[in-house]
A and B are shown apart, each in its own frame.
Chain A
Amino acid sequence: MTTPVADPTVAPSSALSGGSTGRGDRVFFALTGASGIALVLTIVAIGAFLVVQAVPALRDDTTSFLTTKAFLPEADRPTFGIAVLVSGTVITSLIAMVLAVPVALGVAIFVTQYAPRRLAGLLGGIVDLLAAVPSVVYGLWGIAYLDRHLQSVNSGLNSALGWFPLFGDTGGRYGRSVLLASLVLAIMVLPIIAALSREVLLQVSPSLREAALALGATRWEAIRTAVLPPSWPGITSAIMLGLGRALGETIAVALVLGTSSQITTKILGSGGNTIAANIAQKFSEYAQGGRGALIATGLVLFVITFAVNALARLIVVRSARRRLG
């Protein structure tokens, strides 16, 4: 019997050539690739829309956009500055994060590391549920319930700790304060950060925790040594999503924040407004020019969110690099 010799001019047999498996791969690649490209295009399109709409309005502005406090785009001489709006947005979100992040991380760590299995399941479910509650509900609760109860707390804080720069000097108005808006935002983003952080912590292999325990780590030491370090990038993302939600929150803030035209660091009284809430409140009453001004503020919010996210990414990458040389 002669051994068949492969003829180089003949195509390889069908069993080994590409055929249908290759086609499936190509289709899947095209579908997933298209999704990715669509996402990028959408963001670029939104950015382009904001710029195109904002530029004519900005041209009509008679003052300095970034530093002026007054936002009066419908006046005879349109003046609109975003200083108050930006400071209101940033201050309410920052306070919200300061209040929410420690509690959210505490919840996530407790649920994943300490709680007995049944309690963990129950708590996890509640956190997920809270994360899904629409923000208007939190806003309604804030204005209908928290507002009333916070007034006495605020006036108490004011008289007891009035010397503290953030408190004091509220002109006697304690109700719909910056603190109330921050609290509502904090309660709103807390379950989001907690739910996402929990997922991140669950991804850490139990073998790492065991490795630390076997070295004689206490539970907390094992969490600190083995569980948290690989989780930081994910937790940072969770915090950023929460911050993004707080920065952009519209209806809850519009309901609970007493607006003013001043930049304030006094969080017990009414103060400023946020970009998102301002857009919601004014958009329907403004004509073309005013709307352009509102869109310009939207562009600023877009840029702030982008910058914050980029900064967070940078910190994560930097710290990973520093750690690993």
Chain B
Amino acid sequence: MTPTNYSKEEITLPAKSWFIILSLLVGLLLNLLPVNESLLILRPDFVALVLLFWGAYQPQRVGMSVAFVMGLLMDVVNSSMFGQHALAYSVMIFIVLLLRRRIHVFGLLKQAPQIGLLLLFAQFIMLLTELLKRSDFPGWHYFLASFTGMLLWPLISLLLKMSHSSKHDPNAL
């Protein structure tokens, strides 16, 4: 797919709001699923991944304000400091909004490392706020979640892309 395809898609095929909200809620649900200790370390931040996808492909719908609100929700369910996830998410979405033209150029597999870096950056911001609160460094395995998030990016973006383009294709023609 070429970048022009996407910019056309942006004008003619906006994703339905309910679908965006639903996908964010599903991300939240996946973040909440009870899993055992070893999976807990590996579990990527699904909300961040979904936010990144919409930030890259529907920047008019999902911007920093949505990221901020989702961050607040994550803070409550994660019982962390109020505003911690919100800060990390809004900075992360800011970068993806800046770089989205560049991200569109690459295929899904080549996008993955860049998305991984963004996830890593978000985690780094959260780590920084925790260190300012005088928490201990949790160990390097803390960053494993970004790595699994990177591996899951092609799958998640393919799923989101397919489900929202199949809804709209008949209308577009």
Whether chains A and B associate is no
Which A residues are closer than 8 A to B by beta carbons? Answer: none
Which B residues are closer than 8 A to A by beta carbons? Answer: none
